[in-house]
Structure 1
Amino acid sequence: MTPLQKAKDLMDNGQYMPAITILQNLNGLSPKSENYRLLFMSDCWYRLKEYDWAIDIADKLLQKDEQNELASLIKYLSYCNLKDFDSALAEIIHFLSHNEADLYKVTLEELLTDIKDGFINDQDIISKIEGLALKNNVLK
Structure 2
Amino acid sequence: MEAALGVFFICCMSVLSPFSGVDDGELRGCPPSPNCVSSQSMKYNFIHKVDPISYSTSREIAFKRISDYFHHSENIYISEEKEGEYIRIIFFTKVFRFPDRVEIYFPTDKNEAQVRSQSIIGLWDIFANRRRVNAFREILTKEDS
The two structures have a TM-score, normalised by structure 2, of: 0.24
Greater C-alpha Rg: 1
Higher strand share: 2
Q: Relative contact order (C-alpha < 8 Å, sep 6+): which is higher?
A: 2
